[in-house]
Structures are given as structure tokens and as C-alpha cells.
Structure 1
Amino acid sequence: MAARRPPNRKALIRAAAAELFLQRGYHNVSVTDVADSLGITASALYHHYRNKQDLLLHTVLGSLDTVDALIGEAGDLEAALTALAALVTGERGVLAVWEREARNLEDTQRAAILEHEIEVVARLVPLLRAERPELGEPEAHLLARAVLGTLGSRVRHRIALPRRRHEQLMLRVASAAAHAPLRTEAVPPGPHPRETGGSTGSPGLRIPRREQLLTEAIRLFDERGFQSVTMADIGEAGGIVASGVYRHFPRKSDLLIAAVNRGGERIRTSVETALDRAADPGEALELLLRAHIAVSLEQTHLMGILSNERDQLPDRERTALRRLQADYLDVWVQALGSVLPGREPAELKIIVHAVHGMIYFTVRVGRTHPWPDLSQHLRDLGMAVLTRTGC
């Protein structure tokens, strides 16, 4: 007797694709890989999805639909956060494709994803305002972003805790963000830090060509993904032909290495400055947070590369970046451990990842949203998650 097709095969295919995209990156996964992981043929998969990009599109839409449905079914904020904490603890890939892999879609598809993302964030706003009626609409949207950012941080690490404990920790993290006190006094809006990729430039002075190309490469790698960008794309963005790019960077990977080295130097400098200025571990924690926020706002594309393009580096540089990121996390964990004594390192690491994920997810839209002092709001949110999660 022939095996019956499971009624939820499309959902199973999307879940398998999400996990593989998370593990290897979109460009390193084939339709055959997804099919093999499910024990079916590629032709059976094509019965449901036309090609790999169609599969990616519906996987991203499916992840958004899942989050949207859980929020919509919840009767209050606590129920929504509980359901979302259980989701991200059990299925790491659900939010990964939304946050990381949607950039591999076509422009019109990305626009549709962004519109759906805005709808999902907005779905959480009434629950937040019902819990906290003092919030204005912009503050509630900010908190909604922060909550989803903390939960989405689960895709960026493999730190293991027993399932129930992990769910409870993610719930406390998200709840700390949702209940963070925000200063709502009027703050005159100032200019947003300009994204430079590391170059400051001066009016009337021409930026060196090599620096200009690196800046454009950082932006393109973050927006489209390293494998989707060509040397011709970088040359066009920098106003020269592809052959001109090769005179400054013989290989495309050299641009990525230069970008990662720049990001690593910014991280090392921020840590040294924070530790030099801090009088005690609590102050060190706050200074680390402020420095991380500043770098995230000023170097949004650079932070995106450090988060998403590590696996595209050559072996030696990839190992060096992993060591740098592990050392950076360790400094945070030491400072946080002094504020939350008695907590095991795995829990402290998850809390720190949640803060970093919250900042990353919120900053990505911060320049186009009416938050007059995003830096200060992120500081308030970050300290709430760091210090109140253990309460």
C-alpha cells in the first residue's frame, strides 16, 4: 500500500526549509536538500513550491503567519508572550527566515514581507496598551518591536537549557521588555547618526576610493547577502567598473574580511572604553550597553554583517570572529553575573543575547519610525531586560 501524503506536508516542508536555511544559509541549501531531510523526492516538493525562492517566500510568510496567529488568539499580553516564548524555544527556525533570509527575495517580495511584518508588530500593540494604558501609540510600537526582538534572539545561538526552564526564561525576558519603564518626556529630535561603515568624511573632502568601495560593499552585503552581491554591483555603487574594484580588493572575500576586521575593532574599542571608565561591574554593564547601542545605530550595516555573514568568511577569519564574539559575550556575562548573582552562565548568556537581539531588530527600523530618542529608549529597554529578568 502506498504511503499516504501527510495533510500538513506544506507546513513540514516549510519547517524543514527554515531549519536548513538557519543552519547553512539560503544560498547553501538546495531544493533536493530540503526534500532529502523529509525523505521525499524533489519532484514531490515541486508539487507544492515552484522553486527555491518560492519556497523561501512562503517559509517567511508562514513564519509571520504563525506569529500573527498566536498573538491574535491570545486574550491578553501574558498569554501572547507565553505562546511566543514556547514557539521560539521549540522552533528556532521560525523567526530566522523572517529576520535573516528575507533579504534574498526579490524587491517586490521583500516589500510584501515588510508590510506583513508591520502588521504583525501592530497586532501586539493593543495588548501592550491594554496592559499599560499610559503608553502612547509610538511607545507601544517600540515596545512591540523590542519584545519580538528579544524572542527572535533565540535564532542566534544554540545555548541549551531544559525545555521548560528555557520557555520560562524567554517569557521573563520578553515580559521585562514589555514592562520596561520608558521616559516619555518631550525630547527634541536630533539628527540620526549617519551610516558610514566606518568612514567619517568631511564636507568638501573626497573619501578615498578604497574606503568608498568598502562602505558600499558593507551596505550591499547587509542588504542583499554576501553571495547575492557581485563585484560589478559594488563597482556600480561606487561609481566605477568592476575591474576598478579589483585594483583595490583582488577578491570579493577581501571586502568581507576588511568589513569584519573593522567591526571587530569597533567592538574591541567599545569594550576597552567601557571597562576603563567603569567604577564597578554594574556601571560596566551599563557602559557596555550604551556602547553597543551607539555602534548599532552608527554602524547598522556593519553590525548586520557581523550577525549574518560569519559563515561566508574563510576558515581562519571565521574562527577569529567566533573567538572575538565569544570573548565579547563573556565580558557581558561577567558584568551581568555581578548584577544577578547565583545565575548559571547559560541563563546569563541567553539574557545578553536577548538584549543584543532586541537592539538589532529595533534599530533596523529605527531611522524611519517617530522615536525622537531611540538611543535612550534602547538604554531603558536594555537595562530593564538585563536587571529585571531575574526578578
Structure 2
Amino acid sequence: MAARRPPNRKALIRSAATELFLERGYHNVSVADVAEALGITASALYHHYRSKQDLLLHAVLGTLDSVDALVREAGDLDEALRSLAALVTGPRSAFAVWEREARNLEGAQREAIHEREAEVVAHLVPLLRAARRELGGPEAELVARAVFGVLGSRSRHRLALPRRRDQQLMFRLASAAAYCKLSEAGRPAGTGPAAPGAGLRIPRREQILTEAIRLFDERGYQSVTMADIGEAVGIVASAVYRHFPSKTDLLIAAMNRGGERIRAATEQGLGQAKDPREALELLLGAHIAVSIEHRHLVGILTNERDQLPDKERTAFRRFQADYQDVWVQALGAILPEREPTELKIIIHAVHAMIYFVVRSRIADQWPDLAQRQSELGMAVLGKA
């Protein structure tokens, strides 16, 4: 007798694909890999999903649906934050598929994710405004995005505390962002600031690197070709090769530039500090400034380090460890009772919050976004 097809096969396929995308990354997973994980043929899988892109789309949408359900079922803000904290500290939180892999989608599929993400954020807004009646709609959306940034940080590292403490910490961090008091100054504006250097002629090599950085961040390194970069600059691919021998050389140059920007801003900020709290504030301000001015660079530093060759990847990990150590020392001086693992989780939460807000479509609406981010960041750092 032939085996019966399980009634939930489509959901099982999506779940298996999500697990593999989490474990290996989208570009390192094939449709055949997903089919093999379930013990079915690729043709059986195609009966439910048209392509690997379609699989990724539904994996991300499934994650967003799970998050949205917790928010919509919550009776109040604290209940929502506790449920979400439990979700992100659970085994293999699928937040990473939303945070890390969604940019591998193309065109209409990427737009569908942006729209669904906006819906999820919007569903948290009424809970925020019910708990904090002083918040206007724009402020509530900004805070909601900060909350999701904090929660999403757990998909970007492998640090962990005992489960109960882990959940409590993430609840406190998310709550610190949710209840952060924003100052009165600065309301959303219609447009963002003009691009630096607008109207100046930029050297061709710099144009190539700038467009490569943007494309690597928006689409993912593996999805971009030298021809794509040339087209963005307005030249043929062979002209790109005259400045950079390979796509890898472009990525190395981009990562080095990102590290240099962060290093310079950090040294400048810390050089002005008079006490531990001011050191932490200046360190936060430097990170925010780089994130706002060079958001595509920060995106690459966040998402593409594993694409580097071994030598450069090792050097970059050393830079990351040194940068984290500076933060641990600064935060540890304010919270001396906290163990290093806890301090690192807090720091990851703040960095992820900044990145999530800066990359959102509302970022350019806030002329004083740096001040908003600083208030949110210090709330999370100081009330953890």
C-alpha cells in the first residue's frame, strides 16, 4: 500500500526549509536538500512550492505570522513582551530568517515582506499607546521598531544564560525600549537629509565601491555580480575589474572601510570621556553616528563577514572581539554586578536595535534620529 501524504506536508516543508536556512544560510541550501531532509522527492516539493525563492518567502512569512500571532493574542504590552521574549530565547528562534535571509528575496517578494513586517510592527503600536498614552502614532511606531530590534538580536549570536534568566533578561531589555521616555524635540519630517557630497564628482573607484556596498547590503553578497555593480555605476563589468580584480576584493575593501569608520568614531568619542557614564554615552553616540551615516556598511559588517576569505575573516573577528571588549568594559563600569555573558547580550541587543531602526523605512523621517536612538539605547543599557 502506498504511503499516504501527510495533510500538513506544506507546513512540514516550510519548517524544514526554515531550519536549513537558519543552519546553512539561504545560498548554501538547495531544493534537493530540503526534500532530502523530509524523505521526499524534489518533484513532490515542487507540488507545494514553485522555487527556492518561493520557499524562502513562505519561511519568512511564517516567522512573521508567528510573531504577529503572539502580539495580537496579548491582552496588554507586558504580556506581548513576555511572549516574544520566550519565543526568541527558545531553541533555534526563527527570527534569523526574517532578519538575515529576507534580503535574498527579489522584487515583489521583498516588497511583500516589507509590507508584512510593517503590519506586525503596526499591531504592537496599540499596545504601546494603551500602556503609554503620551505616545503619538509616529513615536509609538519608532518605539515598536526598537522593541523588535532588541528581540531580534537573539538571532545574531549564540550567547545564552539559563533559560529562565534568559527570558527575564530579554523581557527587561524589550521593556526598557518599550517604556523609554522620548524627549519632546524632533518630530518626523517629510524627507531625510541630502546625501553627503551631493553634486561633487566622485572618483570612479569610489563610485564602484559605494555601489558595491549598497548592493551587497540590499541583496546579499552572493546575489550580486560584477555586472550588477557595473550597471549601477553605468559602466561595463570589465571596467569594474580594472579597479578591483574580483568581487572578493570589493568585499574586503568594504569590510575594511566599515572597520575603519567604527574604529575612528570610537577613538574620537572615548577620547572625550570624563567618567564611565560619559564614556558609555559617547561610545553609543559613535556607534549610532556610523550606523546612520554608513547604514549599508553596517549592514555588510553585520551580515557578510562569513563571506570573507579565511585570513580576512580571522582578522575581522579579532576586530569585532576588540570592539566588543571596549563595550564590555564601558558597560561593566556601570553595571559591575553583571557577568560578562550578560553584558554581551545587552550590547548585542542595543546594536541590533540601532540597526533594525536605521534600516527601516521610517528612519529618514526623523531629522533627530541620532537623539532618539541615543535615548532608546541608554534606556536599554541602563535599565537592563
TM-superposed CA distance for 1:310, in Å, is 0.9
2:223 corresponds to which letter in structure 1? S
Once the two structures are overlaid, the 10-residue window that deviates more, 342-351 or 362-371, is: 362-371
Equivalent residue number for residue 28 of structure 2? 28
Show the 5 A alignment for 1:295-334: 295-334=290-329
1:83 correspondence with 2:83 = yes
1:363 corresponds to which letter in structure 2? V
Residue in structure 1 matching 2:234, options 236, 239, 250: 239
Task: Please give the alpha-carbon distance, in whole angstroms, between the structure 1 residues aligned to 2:188 and 2:145.
Answer: 22
1:304 corresponds to which letter in structure 2? G
TM-superposed CA distance for 1:10, in Å, is 3.5
Residue pair 1:355, 1:386 contacting (<8 A) in 2 also? yes
Name the SS for the 2:242 alignment partner: helix
1:50 corresponds to which letter in structure 2? R
Residue pair 1:125, 1:140 contacting (<8 A) in 2 also? yes
Name the SS for the 1:90 alignment partner: coil
Deviations 1:336-362 (A, max 9, x none): 111111111111111100000100000
TM-superposed CA distance for 1:15, in Å, is 3.3
Deviations 1:74-110 (A, max 9, x none): 0000110111111111154422121221221121111
Task: Please give the alpha-carbon distance, in whole angstroms, between the structure 2 residues aligned to 1:333 and 1:134.
Answer: 34
1:281 correspondence with 2:281 = no
Equivalent residue number for residue 160 of structure 2? 160
Task: Please give the alpha-carbon distance, in whole angstroms, between the structure 1 residues aligned to 2:350 and 2:300.
Answer: 18
Residue pair 2:193, 2:367 contacting (<8 A) in 1 also? no
TM-superposed CA distance for 1:186, in Å, is 4.8
Equivalent residue number for residue 263 of structure 1? 258
Task: Please give the alpha-carbon distance, in whole angstroms, between the structure 1 residues aligned to 2:149 and 2:91.
Answer: 16
Once the two structures are overlaid, the 10-residue window that deviates more, 371-380 or 168-177, is: 371-380
1:376 corresponds to which letter in structure 2? Q
Task: Please give the alpha-carbon distance, in whole angstroms, between the structure 1 residues aligned to 2:132 and 2:151.
Answer: 20
Task: Please give the alpha-carbon distance, in whole angstroms, between the structure 2 residues aligned to 1:376 and 1:249.
Answer: 38
Equivalent residue number for residue 122 of structure 1? 122
Once the two structures are overlaid, the 10-residue window that deviates more, 278-287 or 70-79, is: 278-287
Residue pair 1:138, 1:371 contacting (<8 A) in 2 also? no
Name the SS for the 1:331 alignment partner: helix
Residue in structure 2 matching 1:350, options 327, 339, 345: 345
1:303 corresponds to which letter in structure 2? V
Equivalent residue number for residue 169 of structure 2? 169
Instruction: Let me know the Cα RMSD of the aligned residues.
Output: 2.1
Residue pair 1:15, 1:94 contacting (<8 A) in 2 also? no
Count of residue pairs brought into register by the alignment: 384
Deviations 1:21-68 (A, max 9, x none): 233321111123233444554444334322211110100111111111
TM-superposed CA distance for 1:160, in Å, is 1.9
Name the SS for the 2:359 alignment partner: helix
Task: Please give the alpha-carbon distance, in whole angstroms, between the structure 2 residues aligned to 1:254 and 1:92.
Answer: 33
TM-superposed CA distance for 1:163, in Å, is 1.5
Structure 1 residues 48 and 162, CA gap change in structure 2 (3 angstroms):
farther
Once the two structures are overlaid, the 10-residue window that deviates more, 216-225 or 180-189, is: 180-189
Q: If the length of structure 1 is used for normalisation, what is the TM-score?
A: 0.92
Q: Which structure 2 segments of 5+ residues have no match?
A: none
Show the 5 A alignment for 1:1-391: 8-186=8-186, 192=192, 201=197, 203=199, 205-365=200-360, 370-389=365-384
Residue pair 2:193, 2:364 contacting (<8 A) in 1 also? no
2:135 corresponds to which letter in structure 1? L
Structure 1 residues 372 and 248, CA gap change in structure 2 (3 angstroms):
closer
Name the SS for the 2:271 alignment partner: helix
Structure 1 residues 327 and 10, CA gap change in structure 2 (3 angstroms):
farther
Residue pair 1:70, 1:84 contacting (<8 A) in 2 also? yes
Name the SS for the 2:360 alignment partner: helix
TM-superposed CA distance for 1:144, in Å, is 0.4
Task: Please give the alpha-carbon distance, in whole angstroms, between the structure 2 residues aligned to 1:260 and 1:193.
Answer: 25
Residue pair 1:19, 1:93 contacting (<8 A) in 2 also? no
TM-superposed CA distance for 1:226, in Å, is 0.8
Task: Please give the alpha-carbon distance, in whole angstroms, between the structure 1 residues aligned to 2:16 and 2:93.
Answer: 9
2:111 corresponds to which letter in structure 1? A
TM-superposed CA distance for 1:334, in Å, is 1.1
Q: If the length of structure 2 is used for normalisation, what is the TM-score?
A: 0.94
Residue pair 1:190, 1:372 contacting (<8 A) in 2 also? no
Deviations 1:313-334 (A, max 9, x none): 1111111111111211111111
TM-superposed CA distance for 1:387, in Å, is 0.5
Q: Which structure 1 segments of 5+ residues have no match?
A: none
Residue pair 1:17, 1:59 contacting (<8 A) in 2 also? yes
Once the two structures are overlaid, the 10-residue window that deviates more, 179-188 or 331-340, is: 179-188
Structure 1 residues 12 and 338, CA gap change in structure 2 (3 angstroms):
farther
Task: Please give the alpha-carbon distance, in whole angstroms, between the structure 2 residues aligned to 1:121 and 1:169.
Answer: 22
Percent identical: 73
Task: Please give the alpha-carbon distance, in whole angstroms, between the structure 2 residues aligned to 1:51 and 1:113.
Answer: 17
Structure 1 residues 342 and 41, CA gap change in structure 2 (3 angstroms):
farther
